[in-house]
Amino acid sequence: MMDWIDSTFGLGQQWLFETFVSPTMFSLGLGNLLEDGFAATGWLLVGLLQLVVIVGVIGPLQRWRPAEPVADRAAIRTDIVYTLIHRLGLFRVGLFFLVQPLFDALFGALSVAGIGTFHLDQAWPGVTDIAWVSLLMYLVIFDFADYWIHRGQHGLHAWWQLHALHHSQRQMTMWSDNRNHLLDDLIRDSLLVLLALAIGVAPSQFVAIVAITQLSESLQHANLRLSFGRIGSRLWVSPRFHRLHHSIGIGHETAGAGTLGGHNFGVLLPWWDMLFGTANFEDRYDPTGIRDQVEQGRNYGRGFWEQQWLGLKRLAGKA
């Protein structure tokens, strides 16, 4: 099954590259970057497939059982801009030009020093070298790392000034997952890329992990009154579980203290929240946002550029 998926995806990637991407790159004088363009085509194809699922599957679910009435369509349109930037690979292209050379230099220097990467999928020959087994193993490892990264985004004051943009959406929908400050995304994605390089994740597996994670997060953020039941909600993060993470006074505050903290940091698996005491499985659908938006009228911005600028000003202590 995994081989069929990989083969079918490869054929689609090849067709998209030869039909659209390659001619465009030649016309722009980027023929020397064709190999990188082919890799970027994979991200583009993944994003296009995700958009089909978001619009064709999650969209009808939102209309079927909305958690709240839609009241701010302008804010949702801004979130769509974020989604297109990330899912169509534009952010990853920027990441490639900005930090990939630094990663290559770092791991090149380690290799010269005789320090190689550890291929975790070779740890148990005959078992972890089975494609779906290694994929599941890496998925769990990355989710564990993502849990602690998420805790850092909420627990470290400076990092929260950037991550607060994500939580400032008071009309949460299937488009809200990528509503992040670009610097926040740069930090998180860089950490995950370094982890991938350190433990020897194959590029195709890394793409699959990111795709699964992003699509699940689109569902989690949906304006959808949906739980996975008593057992299911403890196996995979549901829209109800994640909505509590965005709820005013619950998701990003220590109970009764009004300080940074919160609940339900798990990205895919609620196991880490259960293990480390941050899980909240209450059956409720509260308003989302940040307390100071409601109580103090703090402005987190309306459009993309205003939101990015205010995030930098918060980081500098000027907003």
Residue tagged 């992990």 (tokens): 209
Q: In which band, very low, low, confident or very high, does the pLDDT at 116 lie, cut at 50, 70 and 90?
A: low
Q: What pLDDT was estimated at residue 19?
A: 96
Predicted local distance difference test score (pLDDT) of residue 142: 97
pTM of the model: 0.93
119-166 pLDDT, tens per residue? 777 777 766 667 788 889 999 999 999 999 999 999 999 999 999 999
Q: What pLDDT score does 104 carry?
A: 74
Q: Do the beta carbons of residue 294 and residue 174 sit within 8 Å?
A: no
- 177: exposed, middle or buried (Cβ count in 10 Å: 0-12, 13-18, 19+): buried
% of residues, the chain, pLDDT over 70: 94
* pLDDT at residue 129 in the model: 66
Residues 6+ apart with CB under 8 A from 23: none
The pair of structure tokens assigned to 301 is 């911005």
pLDDT, residue 255, reads 65
| pLDDT band for position 256 (cuts 50, 70, 90) | low
More confident residue, 261 or 77: 77
Burial profile 28-48: b = 16 or more Cβ within 10 angstroms, e = fewer: eeeeeeeeebbbbbbbbbbbe
pLDDT tens track for 16-56? 999 999 999 999 998 898 988 998 999 999 999 999 999 99
Q: Any idea which of 89-93, 236-240, 298-302 has the lowest mean pLDDT?
A: 89-93
What's the rounded Cα separation, in Å, for the pair 116 and 164?
A: 37
- 186-234: pLDDT as tens digits: 999 999 989 998 888 988 889 999 999 999 999 999 999 999 999 999 9
Q: Which pLDDT does position 120 carry in this prediction? A: 74
Tokens of 32: 């020397």
| 53, 146, 201, 197 alpha-carbon torsion, rounded to 10° | 130
Of 242, 289, 310, the closest CA to residue 72 belongs to: 289
DSSP, collapsed to helix, strand or coil, labels residue 314 as: helix
d(CA 67, CA 64): 10
Contacts of 280 (CB under 8 A, 6+ apart): 241, 244, 250, 263, 264, 273
The 3-state secondary structure of 114-163, one letter per residue: CCCCCCHHHCCCCCCCCHHHHHHHHHHHHHHHHHHHHHHHHHCHHHHHHH
Q: What percent of the chain has pLDDT over 90?
A: 72
CB crowding 205-229: b at 16 or more within 10 Å, else e? bbbbbbbebbbbbbbbbbbbbbbbe
Give me the chain's average pLDDT, please: 91
Is residue 257 pLDDT above 60, yes or no?
Answer: no
At residue 39, φ and ψ (nearest 5 deg) are: -65, -40
Record the tokens describing residue 205, joined without a space.
Answer: 């597996």
Q: Evaluate if residue 286 carries a pLDDT over 60.
A: yes
pLDDT of residue 233: 97
- How high is the pLDDT of residue 274? 98
Identify the pLDDT of residue 20: 94
Measured distance CA(127)–CA(148) in Å, rounded: 28
